Chains A and B, each alone.
Chain A
Amino acid sequence: MAIVIWIPLILPLVLGVVSGLRQRSAWTLWLPVASAAVLLGAGVVLILDVSDRGPITTADGLLRVDSLSAWMLAVVGVVAVVALWGGVPHRTDRSRNIGRFAGLLCLFLAAMSLAVAADNIGLMWVAIELTTITTAFLVGSRGGRGALEAAWKYVILGSAGVAIAFLGIVLIFAASRTGGAPSLSWVVLLAHAGSLDPTLTRAGAALAVLGFATKAGLAPMHSWLPDAHSQAPATVSGLMSGVLLSVAFYAILRIQAVADAAIGPALMRELLLAAGLLSLAVTAGLAITQKDFKRLLAYSSIEHMGLLALGAAAGGPLAIAAVLLHILGHGLVKSSMFVLSGRILGFTGSHDIADVRNLLRRRPDLGGPFLLGAAALLGFPPFVTFFTEVAIIVAGFQRGLGWQMMVACILLVVVFAGIARHVLAMTVGTDPDPEVARTLPAPPDKPARFRQVPIGIALGLCAVVGFAAWPLAGPLVAAVAALGGGR
């Protein structure tokens, strides 16, 4: 079965090279979609296989897929299918460098697969840094001052942050050397957690979490995120927000598992609580005054990463299962929302919230899903995000984080008000120009139905999964167990 681990690593690489060589062929845009579908398929096969026969190891132990890795692989796959399929531009607005764009997307997918399949913190770091490298030109690909500024900030802050994580990894390795079993493997580190040097582990784990938190967009290291997500093409924003942030968060979960086993949960809990509450506070403060709808979505991502951090801080099977399910729910909705925001941008020609009014009437094919997606982001039932947010808060109360969860609830209400206000203005707000309001709705983009399919699937899944989660229960419980039981 080890071959299934290699497929999502090798195939996107090959397809990426093919795309790069066929610079101007429009069909290359479908190769990243194919790569994402392969990732999803491999993830599902691995979930089933790992639940039957246990973790699969290959490449001298450098790669190891357990239930958590398989879950993440499947999530990356399904979210990437939505973002990439939904984001394939119409024939009329395709740029010249299609092949290079598609090639970088394929390599980006391969890097994310490597990050979740590596059983070595060092190799995972290499993969996460590779995601920055592959997305650098994607973020700046629209050209112009804004896009270049965003790309510069993204690469320099992302790389400096991740460099700090590398320093943490170096110290964790030194801690394992002192313990007599020098290794960077999760399995070995968890097995010998008791013998790790506590001081070095404490410093190493704190630095590693700080570094990966930069990449995950947690406050106060989030400043690159709104810029990069608002300037990147819609597909890239969708992928970065939907899964890249979660892959970085996955790294935090793994480091937390080792640190908790070695030095107890206090340090990680405090760090994650601080980052989580601060992320919610940043979103609460800035969502209400946003003028750009892509930045608004970016701030919403910071909020959701904050929620994940609170869930990880709470710990325990309920919170960790909720965190993993929330990663799926948020990924599906956020990638759809960014794809829709790209189409709204194409329709209105402006990033400004003020320029988008009455979308539900003027462009029902955009306004309807945008409103539904926003409801999911805000945690309305029946969407799965409602159940996972409630589960995270409840788990927090159960684990003795009462006042922190109270603060989180208050901040969530403020975020809710800020985002809902803008989304309602965009979708049902009255047109400033009454003439425009009287005209017939504009026809949808072509080919309308085909482009709506991934959005429909994503929002549909998100609405159903909360009630019909039984097929996911087994994999989720196994994934929580892979993290050492979620402690």
Chain B
Amino acid sequence: MSNGVYLQLLATTTGVLLLSAVLQVWGRSTVRAIGLLVLQGTALAGLVLTVGVHAGEAAAPLVAGLVLVVKALVMPWAMLRSARVIGVTRERSARVKPAIELIGAAALTLLAYAVSGPILGDRTDPATQAVPVGVSLVLLGFWQLLVRGSAITELIGFLMLDNGIATISFLTSGGLSLVVELGATLDVLLVVLILGVLAVRLHAEQGHIDISELRELHD
């Protein structure tokens, strides 16, 4: 892979990752949000392939394939299935107004660039330069976890957070060892499946999946 192609692919995949994260903040449709997650998973798999092939790692296509299957197919499918069973395609309420949510997201993206600089120091390779995208995804994922009101969108926030961490991992070090990557992917998949089941049970128990109305337990 020539250096020019590598740079372009790197810019495209990280660009799509950031775009999908920002679009995620905007809008209340669950189906659209899950669609964006498919796009994000695909971009992440593309990034894994690009970084891996450039570094000459033989296992890169395998890992990229795994990421594609799990993050762009299985997880969104499981979430779509939970959403269909519940019958909720739009979020009923959020804890803050959309405008504040967007301004917050913009501020967090700026913050991501601000904090990544000192951590990365004087590294100049192009992959490391794209790390702020991963940090943005992490912060935006947290933002979504914090401000969204429905169980499904909270789950989407969690996945965005996880995608952000995977992005940072592949950009800084080409990923961890295969055993750890496999284990971590399996763990996150199981967490998503469990939360999907819990969301369905929450709906069956109380007729809605508004997290802000979970007030049974308090001090």
Name A's B-contacting residues (CB within 8 A). 62, 120, 122-123, 125-126, 129-130, 132-133, 136-137, 140, 144-146, 148-153, 155-156, 159-160, 163, 166-167, 169-171, 173-174, 177, 182, 184, 197, 199-200, 203, 226-227, 230-231, 286, 289-290, 295
Let me know if B142 is at the binding interface, CB within 8 A: yes
8 Å CB contact of A148 from B118, B191, B198: B198
**Which partner residue on chain A sits nearest B190 by CB separation?**
A133
CA of A120 to CA of B211, assembled, Å: 36
**Which partner residue on chain A sits nearest B181 by CB separation?**
A122
Most buried by B among A170, A177, A295: A170
Further pairs besides A151-B198, A155-B198: 12, Cβ < 8 Å: A120-B177, A123-B180, A126-B180, A129-B191, A133-B194, A140-B198, A144-B205, A152-B199, A159-B191, A170-B176, A184-B180, A200-B119
B residues in contact with A169, CB < 8 Å: 176
CA of A290 to CA of B219, assembled, Å: 7
A residues in contact with B145, CB < 8 Å: 156, 160
B160-186 CB mask vs A (1 if < 8 Å, else 0) is: 011001001100110011011001101
CA of A122 to CA of B198, assembled, Å: 27
Whether B177 contacts A156 by the Cβ 8 Å rule is no
Whether A170 contacts B191 by the Cβ 8 Å rule is no
Q: A145-B206, A163-B161 given as contacts; is B194 within 8 A of A289 (CB)?
A: no
**Which partner residue on chain A sits nearest B185 by CB separation?**
A126
8 Å CB contact of B118 from A126, A153, A199, A295: A199
The main secondary structure of chain A at its interface with chain B is helix
Let me know if B151 is at the binding interface, CB within 8 A: yes
B residues in contact with A290, CB < 8 Å: 219
A residues in contact with B217, CB < 8 Å: 146, 149-150, 153, 226-227, 230-231
B residues in contact with A231, CB < 8 Å: 217
The main secondary structure of chain B at its interface with chain A is helix
8 Å CB contact of B165 from A145, A170, A200: A170
Let me know if B1 is at the binding interface, CB within 8 A: no
30 contacts between A and B (CB under 8 A): A120-B177, A120-B180, A122-B183, A123-B180, A140-B201, A144-B205, A145-B216, A148-B205, A149-B202, A149-B216, A149-B217, A152-B199, A153-B217, A155-B198, A156-B145, A160-B158, A163-B158, A163-B161, A166-B184, A167-B165, A167-B168, A171-B119, A171-B168, A174-B172, A177-B172, A177-B173, A184-B180, A197-B121, A199-B119, A286-B219
Most buried by B among A122, A177, A203: A122
Q: Count of B residues near A, CB < 8 Å?
A: 41
Name B's A-contacting residues (CB within 8 A). 118-119, 121, 138, 142, 145, 151, 154-155, 158, 161-162, 165, 168-169, 172-173, 176-177, 179-180, 183-184, 186-188, 190-191, 194-195, 198-199, 201-202, 205-206, 211, 214, 216-217, 219
A residues in contact with B198, CB < 8 Å: 136, 140, 148, 151-152, 155
Q: A145-B206, A163-B158 given as contacts; is B169 within 8 A of A170 (CB)?
A: yes
8 Å CB contact of B187 from A126, A150, A153, A230: A126
CA of A188 to CA of B20, assembled, Å: 38
